[in-house]
Amino acid sequence: MDALESTPLLADSSTTNDDVCSGPYARFTSRRKVALVVLVGWSPSCRLETVIVAGSFIPAIPQIAKDLDVGAAAVSLAISVTLISESLGSLVASSYSTFYGRRPVYLVALPILCAGSLGVASSSTITQLLLWRSVQALGMSPGFSVGAGVVGDLYPAEHRGLAMGAFLGIALLGPLLAPVVGGYASHYGSWRDMQCGLVGASLLTLLILYLDLPETSHTGTTGAYKAREAADLQGSRPPRFVLINCLRPLGLLRSPNVLAVVCGTIVTFIMLLIYPQTLAGFCVLTTNFALLVPINSTIGDRYDLNAFLIGLCMVPSGLGNIIGAPLAGRLSDKALSRRGGDVLCPEDRLRATILGAGFLVPLSALSAGLIVQLVPGRLGLALNLLCFFMNGIGVELTLTPLAAYCIDILHSRSAEVIAANSGFRSLLISLTIGSVVPLISKLGVIGVGVLSAGVAWAGFGLICVTICYGKSMRVNVNMDE
């Protein structure tokens, strides 16, 4: 645990709650903190636009395949490339944000996002599409990891859950915008128009971030600051640029707590096997995940929907995400403070995931599988939309506390632990996602729904183990080095 954490999360700490508003967390006013959370949540290469970048691609896959004269399966390769590129990019971004600070990473990532979006819009072959989608993914890779690091910089532990919920809630406007806008552009215009719009939005936000985003890292904690201090003591010049081992964040997976959280979040991602809409908008990884699932041949064919209507079907999930994120943040903060007194236990925060991970996510997965197979017509579609809404709430009731927990136990390396969490998960899924369509063909929608619910409950079991034994798991591994 970082020594700068004002409120103690370990039993042997003696810091009191009176220090919460002092020290590094008093650097910005409350209004300024809210403005910064909105800024990193809304901005491209931060959260919201990365959701739009990926989410708008879902309804456009058939049109892209037709335009490039390839099969939809070939276009889906762009998603695998995106997952790998984004996971590696998040490791790079988080490592350099720990060393140089948050602001430089954003200012470098945005031009890359602009170039990638422009390249995607001008692609005339599948090879060009794959190349530029990987560049685009690199540009949006700081979204979750560095953004979560900013939240950790601004708020102490007992307020961090609500702040993280607000951060995710802003980004989760994406499920309301991306599928609808992307579907509209695909059905009534061209998928290239959306990419061109992203170029303009990214350039505008680059200007806003350059003028208004300060460095949020705590004074004296960045690697660059320490390198300058060491150089001054030796009477030498500090290095202009330092090469960093960008795989270093993966070393955090040595912590059984972090590894359990990585596996535990499968309770939410497993829904993507059937219904990618339920997670569209959680984060960069989740929305790119959703692109791989054949939504047009499941929901679209079953209920005879065009691309625009498929986009509209994602709105209930987005509403559930928006409601669930701030609710989860507030509940996790209350759970963290449930013991009272001055000492806080990080594992108490995970109790806020019980409703979402144990009930809403697996039951909505199971119900949706049954409904899409057995209930036709408008009633079936309406019930599916209800499942999407409930799953959207459940997803955020699970993921928001898990992200805040990772920052609680490794505050000094907050961006890196989030990158290790999401990056490792993304790499695993990119290797296994190709089996989704054959699995649906072999087991059927109901079979995959049952399997999804079973895996979800298994992930919930890992979270329960962490709640019960997380403290002893933490003390056995030193993760600050």
**Cβ contacts of 431 within 8 Å, gap of 6 or more:** none
Pick the more confident residue, 481 or 136. Answer: 136
User: Which region among 98-112, 155-169, 265-279, 449-463 has the lowest average model confidence (pLDDT)?
Assistant: 265-279
Pick the more confident residue, 38 or 73. Answer: 38
What pLDDT is attached to residue 423? 67
Residue 27 backbone dihedrals phi, psi, to 5 degrees: -65, -40
Residue 7 located in a structural domain: no
Over range 11-23, report the average pLDDT.
46
Query: Helix %, strand %, coil % for the chain, to 5?
Result: 80, 0, 20
Over range 261-285, report the average pLDDT.
41
Q: How would residue 266 be classed by pLDDT, with cut points 50, 70 and 90?
A: very low
Q: How would residue 58 be classed by pLDDT, with cut points 50, 70 and 90?
A: low
CATH (domain of 470): 1.20.1250.20
pTM, two decimal places: 0.69
The DSSP result for 392-435, as a single string, is HHHHHHHHHHHHHHHHHHTGGGHHHHHHHHHHHHHHHHHHHGGG
**Cβ contacts of 136 within 8 Å, gap of 6 or more:** 53, 82, 113, 116, 117, 119, 120
Q: Among residues 91, 86, 402, 93, which one has the least CA distance to residue 252?
A: 91
Residue 154 located in a structural domain: yes
Residue 179 located in a structural domain: yes
Tell me the residue range of the domain where 64 lies: 24-475
CA 162/CA 37 separation, integer angstroms: 11
Residue 3 located in a structural domain: no
- pLDDT tens sequence across 286-312: 333 333 344 555 566 667 777 667 667
- Number of structural domains, the chain? 1
Pick the more confident residue, 479 or 419. Answer: 419
Mean pLDDT of the chain: 75
Residue 17 located in a structural domain: no
Residue 4 located in a structural domain: no
CB neighbour class for 317 (10 Å; exposed up to 12, middle 13-18, buried from 19): buried
Would the pLDDT of 406 be above 70?
yes
What pLDDT is attached to residue 426? 65
Residue 5 located in a structural domain: no
Over range 433-458, report the average pLDDT.
72
Over range 419-441, report the average pLDDT.
65
What pLDDT is attached to residue 362? 83
Q: How would residue 119 be classed by pLDDT, with cut points 50, 70 and 90?
A: very high
- pLDDT tens sequence across 181-224: 666 666 667 778 878 888 888 898 889 899 999 999 988 888 88
What pLDDT is attached to residue 118? 93
What pLDDT is attached to residue 10? 46
What pLDDT is attached to residue 340? 67
CA distances from 237 to 99, 146, 231, 232, 243 (A): 17, 28, 6, 7, 16
**Cβ contacts of 425 within 8 Å, gap of 6 or more:** 262, 265, 266, 269, 285
- pLDDT tens sequence across 65-81: 888 888 766 776 777 77
Residue 331 located in a structural domain: yes
